[in-house]
Amino acid sequence: MHLLALVFLISATLVALIYGVQLLLMAFRTSVLWGLGYIFVPFVALIFVAMHWDETKEPFLRGLLAIPLYLLGGALLPHMNI
């Protein structure tokens, strides 16, 4: 089970990273200010996605696939008794 949990967690991280970087590049292609805001200002990423939904819909929704993968990986991890 540990190996399966690790596979899910690594897969989720890769999915989130790939589509997060893709959205970041889209923000910088729109303008440098959007890109910098995307990185440094809270919630600008969500505002950018909402305002440019036609272009960002696909990578945003695909990036959300990481959530169930994280949940599955976390559920399969062993519980630690401290």
Domains of the chain, residue spans: 2-74
Give pLDDT, residue 23. Answer: 97
Query: pTM for the full model?
Result: 0.88
Residue range 48-70, pLDDT digits in tens: 999 999 999 999 999 999 999 99
C-alpha distances in angstroms, 76 versus 1, 8, 11, 72, 79? 6, 9, 14, 6, 9
Would you state the pLDDT for residue 81?
59
Residue 11 has pLDDT above 90, yes or no: yes
- 2-23: b (≥16 Cβ within 10 Å) or e: eeebeebbebbeebbeebbeeb
Closest by Cα among 1, 20, 2, 11 to 70: 11
